[in-house]
A and B are shown apart, each in its own frame.
Chain A
């Protein structure tokens, strides 16, 4: 082990492996990592076992992906936190609970019964980690220093995060391509090769609408539609077309990836700093963009909008819904 290199852990709790694959795919060569970091713990790729984690004295940077759904994942997060100088929530599940967090709408976090959720599966066979009553983001379990949001995080922001947090002043890269999408303070730190301020998001600080390529005509929509009901080639703002798009309540950084493909934003970067609750922001945005003042028309429009909780908080129900019990 080269003492000059930073010791890095990469772990995943409940999720889809998408974030780990995104790290694996950074610059398409996993071996290039070895130039400046030692990956000392990565269960998925290296098969690192829990004893190896116990044996590690310290970790410089831990990238933690996935939501916390079991007691084993909780204790792993706590152990990693206690050993890591820097803890990074990587991806929407670790940052906000992600789509697994939608299970919090159901009693006991989606477990078949309260007994399944609460009791360890202890019998005369083998013990299974105990499922928790609710799905949690990483920062609901331990303190988090940095966030790389997205489902999965974009390559440029992930690369910026990894380099900024692991290479430090020795970095040979100036990262201008990624810095262009970061808030100025963070971009300056990244390009200067200094460690960014704790609490930073490796993403923008405005809303997705600020970087969306679609044309906003400031026109109000007259009726809400569901995505399968309409297709318009115009390149107009999707919300102005009557489609529920969360761009206005979502932190930028992706460059309007989904809207560029003709699909409404679903908020995988979480809310921008200036927004208190993404759902409330969406209610406000839709109310001010809908043209009618007629009660019946408003009721008809509201009837088209389905599953507001699952839509407005697709990735953030566990953490950013002000009305949701977070305990």
Chain B
């Protein structure tokens, strides 16, 4: 039995690796998350109002999902100002998160710290210059500045509270947000053009990975912003009950990874390779749903991507990055709308609740994919149980399938472990 370990996989949120165990007749491939996250142990016993400040250790958008769950638990509706501030924050998160992944893709075949003139220039398309890479990071930084303004902090925001937000913005913030919004939209369009022509198009930077087929699995997304929906890649879509999503989706633990696998309860679990219940979430799932973008320029961009790649569903790597490009444009437009001075001013920034329930849930379409929270609390509002479904567990089964497929193909082509690792890292980057 030969064992190959591809470790670590670059750019994965969770420390992860692929372990391959092969003999003459069989190849077993394991996509392993190698570090535990004891979310239940961290959250249980805490006052429930603290969860929006704790759960961003999973991803920044968990802050907003937890705040939505608190609104429901305390039966309180945030004022319009607060809803706008939260939406604007979410869009800034989209922009920054997607730009970071695009930066990772563009520097995937070189050392981003190398002196650029000494680095492998042939690793980048001609139009992707050092200036372009710097502009991507500069605009990611602008989006993060918007996160700081709107959320108080970037990766661990804190402004969303039960029934609203925790403070008004200052006068200077409105002007700065307007400047940032304009800059982000202008750059989003510039980036979209570059991505379409130099990266996604036939013969573009993604060409070496054009043969990678992402498993054609159902995609889970929020239709019309709040309706959990499961799209079938063969056509059709099924609406799911948001409150009971925890009954629809189960989590399977396996001893060889610290990350559980989300799967559809109705299909059962027969091992991640045979299971019919595996699905995925994220930009590709949203793109493949065929929904129109929420804003005009983003919809135009979506149409251009469709012209380039064909109608969805598509399970190519180029579609996954194309979906991100559409969402970058959309995020910039929505940030302009919800981050304007008019949207972020009003007489009330939060409503004080008068009652509290004992269980709650919330779903949010986050940059990494749909996230769903459910909490049970006791009479003192102390958390008794937490259930969370997010991209980490929802895409885990798909990552395993993709890893198996990549390794099998790479072994047939007799690629070195280093080459296998590079292909796997890029293929798994969008998820």
Question: Which A residues have a C-beta under 8 Å from some C-beta of B?
Answer: 12-18, 21-22, 24-25, 28-31, 33-34, 37-39, 43-50, 69-70, 72-73, 99-100, 102-103, 105-106, 109-111, 121, 123, 125-129, 131, 135, 151-152, 226-231, 233, 257-258, 260-263, 266, 306-307, 310-311
Contact = CB atoms under 8 A, between A and B. Distances in A.
A24 B168 CA distance: 30
Nearest to A67: B35
Contact of B113 (A12, A39, A135, A152): A39
A209 B132 CA distance: 43
A25 B387 CA distance: 32
Interface residues of B, number: 77
Contact of A73 (B35, B111, B137, B422): B35
Nearest to B49: A228
A110 B255 CA distance: 16
Given A17-B13, A34-B113, A103-B42, A306 B57 contact: no
A28 B10 contact: no
Contact of B7 (A39, A49, A262, A311): A49
B228 interface: no
Contacts of B28: 125-126
B156 A151 contact: yes
A228 B161 contact: yes
Nearest to B10: A47
B53 A263 contact: yes
A151 B156 CA distance: 8
Given A103-B41, A106-B41, A262 B47 contact: no
Contact of B38 (A22, A49, A110, A263): A110
Interface centre among A22, A45, A48, A257 (most CB of B within 10 A): A45
A18 to B, nearest CB: 4
Contacts of A152: 155-156
Interface string B38-65: 1011100111011001101111000000
Contacts, number: 198
Contact of A266 (B49, B53, B56, B255): B53
B36 A70 contact: yes
Contact of A263 (B10, B58, B152): B152
B153 interface: yes
Given A99-B54, A266-B53, A231 B352 contact: yes
A30 B110 CA distance: 13
Nearest to A258: B158
A27 to B, nearest CB: 8
B34 to A, nearest CB: 5
B74 to A, nearest CB: 6
A129 B155 contact: no
User: 4 smallest A-B Cβ distances: which pairs?
Assistant: A110-B41, A110-B38, A261-B152, A28-B141
Contact of A44 (B10, B74, B163): B10
Contact of B116 (A15, A22, A31, A262): A31
Given A16-B57, A226-B49, A100 B10 contact: no
A110 B40 contact: yes
A45 B8 contact: no
A306 B38 contact: no
A306 B35 contact: no
